[in-house]
């Protein structure tokens, strides 16, 4: 897929000028991150890494991703309510994956006690790559769905302005209209605000559950400030602060520092290293509480890789859409090959298939956050080590998606300013609010494009591999 902007890449003098224009535009728009050296120092910031130019995305595939997002919102929510399915889907995984097992332990305890809050808030992001097939056709294929801490909605709301300005300076302003408007900040805040309103206590607060090191704080701040503009009080607390000062009051109302918490928005808690024994206790405290959790523990589990693989089995989607075959077709059209590694003949065939042709597949553990997937010879080594052991059930196997590379320049502090061959990943933000059996809100509220050099197999923006981008619809 050729970019209409490749002629600029050959103009060294223009590129030199555009680098300064681009960086300053990002700083002016607040597309910022703190530095790795001083992640908690607000006065030490840089522009968040981003591409010099927007990357081409076929308009029909972009629209397809938007349209199917409401279906995925419903799917995730219905999975979260299906105890039997979650028990069956994760039965093998929780025997060998301690992190998923700890989440499932909390899930079982909350179910046993009875849910304290009928309001459910989902802020998720479904990620795709554009698979360039052998027949020359390009199709939309899902990489994963993130049901916890789906980031960069705040910064993504301002990158269109940055790229439109760069194109104007490069005398390509006519291309700017092909960059779609994007404001996930508002949409994410809409969901949180709706849940807060339904909690029905004007003195209660929204709590962002955050990491100790906060490089990406400005992404959060955009959403926080949108909530403040609606007179919704927002606080930021870490797991350790909840451990030390959090408590349950009457009717399991959650309190911290004397403030009642209406909504807990998890921007932390998606990786094993986020937890200690005390932090697991804090997670249980919050899950048992009357506060609206985003996500609640069942929705967190619904986003696991093992659930993703189980959904690709014949007939499983129909379980969740018994009266909507069109939704089943829309969702299934985005699936690529997903294979079980459970013990037994089917799992044995998966192991043999992957070892015989490793370049066709990706090995995925039950992890979020980027940089966890395993490829090529590394995948073969892992599979050889676990093929006779139940440890293999901690993974799933997925067909490798093969997008068509394009040329771009990745602007990252301290990195060389040279054109790179790049691949992109498109995400769609979904927001839903349910009360009991009634779906109150269900929408697609924006998108995120991330781009990385082809020299990297895996890794996100925070990991220092991918950068922020915008679709240039073609």
Known binding-site residues for substrate equal 125, 450
CB 55 within 8 A of CB 3: yes
DSSP letter at 406?
E
| Angstrom distances, CA of residue 317 to CA of 77, 398, 426 | 13, 18, 23
* Exposure class string for 367-386: b at 16+ Cβ within 10 A, else e: bbbbebbbeeeebbebbeeb
Alpha-carbon gap, residue 144 to 335, rounded angstroms: 10
Grouping H, G, I as helix, E, B as strand and the rest as coil, residue 84 is: helix
CB 409 within 8 A of CB 139: no
The H-or-E segment that residue 235 falls in is strand 234-238
Q: Which amino acids are annotated as binding site for Mg(2+), given as ranges?
A: 144, 146, 368
Angle (nearest 5°) at CA 388 between 385 and 393 = 85
Rg of the Cα trace of the chain?
22
User: Rounded to the nearest 5°, which phi and psi values hold at 213?
Assistant: -105, 125
What's CA 244's distance to the chain center, in Å?
A: 29
Within 8 A by CB and 6+ apart from 309, the residues are: 338, 339, 340, 396, 398
Pairing mode of beta strands 419-435, 406-411: antiparallel
In angstroms, how far is the first alpha carbon of the chain from the final one?
Answer: 10
Q: Which amino acids are annotated as binding site, given as ranges?
A: 125, 144, 146, 305, 364-373, 375, 398-401, 425, 450, 452, 458
Concatenating the DSSP letter of every residue in 414-434 gives TS---EEEEEEEEEEEEEEEE
| Location of structure tokens 């024994």 | 277
Q: Which amino acids are annotated as binding site for ATP, given as ranges?
A: 144, 305, 364-373, 375, 398-401, 425, 452, 458
| Angstrom distances, CA of residue 279 to CA of 47, 209, 236, 326, 328 | 32, 12, 16, 42, 38
């Amino acid at each position: 897929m050729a970019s209409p902007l490749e002629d600029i890449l050959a103009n060294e003098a223009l590129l030199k000028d555009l680098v300064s224009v681009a960086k300053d535009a990002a700083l002016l728009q607040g597309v910022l991150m703190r530095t790795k050296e001083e992640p908690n120092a607000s006065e030490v910031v840089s522009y968040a890494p981003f591409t010099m130019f927007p990357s081409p995305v076929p308009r029909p595939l972009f629209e397809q991703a938007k349209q199917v997002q409401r279906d995925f919102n419903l799917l995730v929510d219905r999975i979260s309510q299906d105890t039997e399915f979650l028990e069956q889907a994760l039965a093998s995984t929780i025997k060998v994956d301690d992190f998923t097992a700890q989440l499932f332990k909390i899930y079982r305890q909350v179910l046993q006690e009875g849910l304290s809050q009928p309001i459910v808030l989902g802020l998720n992001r479904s990620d795709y790559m554009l698979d360039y097939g052998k027949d020359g056709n390009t199709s939309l294929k899902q990489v994963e769905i993130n049901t916890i801490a789906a980031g960069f909605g705040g910064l993504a709301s301002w990158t269109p302005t940055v790229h439109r300005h760069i194109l104007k300076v490069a005398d390509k302003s006519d291309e700017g209209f092909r960059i779609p408007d994007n404001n996930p900040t508002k949409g994410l805040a809409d969901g949180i605000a709706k849940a807060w309103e339904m909690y029905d206590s004007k003195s209660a607060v929204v709590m962002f559950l955050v990491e100790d090191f906060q490089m990406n704080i400005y992404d959060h701040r955009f959403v926080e400030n949108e909530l403040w503009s609606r007179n919704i009080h927002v606080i930021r607390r870490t797991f350790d602060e909840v451990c030390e000062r959090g408590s349950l009051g009457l009717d399991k109302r959650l309190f911290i520092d004397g403030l009642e918490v209406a909504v807990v928005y998890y921007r932390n808690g998606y990786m094993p290293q986020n937890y200690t024994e005390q932090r697991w206790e804090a997670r249980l405290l919050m899950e048992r509480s009357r506060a609206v959790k985003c996500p609640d523990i069942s929705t967190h589990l619904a986003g696991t890789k093992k659930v993703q693989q189980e959904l690709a089995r014949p007939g499983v989607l129909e379980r969740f859409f018994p009266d909507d075959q069109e939704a089943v077709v829309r969702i299934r059209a985005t699936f690529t090959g997903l294979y079980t590694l459970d013990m037994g003949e089917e799992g044995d065939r998966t192991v043999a298939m992957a070892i015989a042709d490793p370049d066709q597949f990706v090995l995925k553990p039950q992890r979020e956050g980027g940089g966890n997937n395993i490829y090529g010879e590394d995948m073969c080594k892992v599979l050889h080590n676990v093929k006779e052991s139940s440890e293999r059930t901690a993974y799933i196997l997925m067909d490798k998606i093969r997008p068509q590379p394009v040329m771009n320049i990745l602007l990252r502090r301290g990195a060389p300013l040279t054109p790179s061959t790049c691949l992109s990943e498109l995400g769609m933000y979904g927001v839903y609010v349910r009360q009991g059996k009634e779906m109150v809100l269900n929408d697609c509220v924006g998108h995120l494009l991330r781009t990385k050099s082809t020299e990297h197999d895996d890794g996100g923006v925070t990991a220092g591999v991918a950068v922020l981008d915008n679709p240039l619809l073609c």
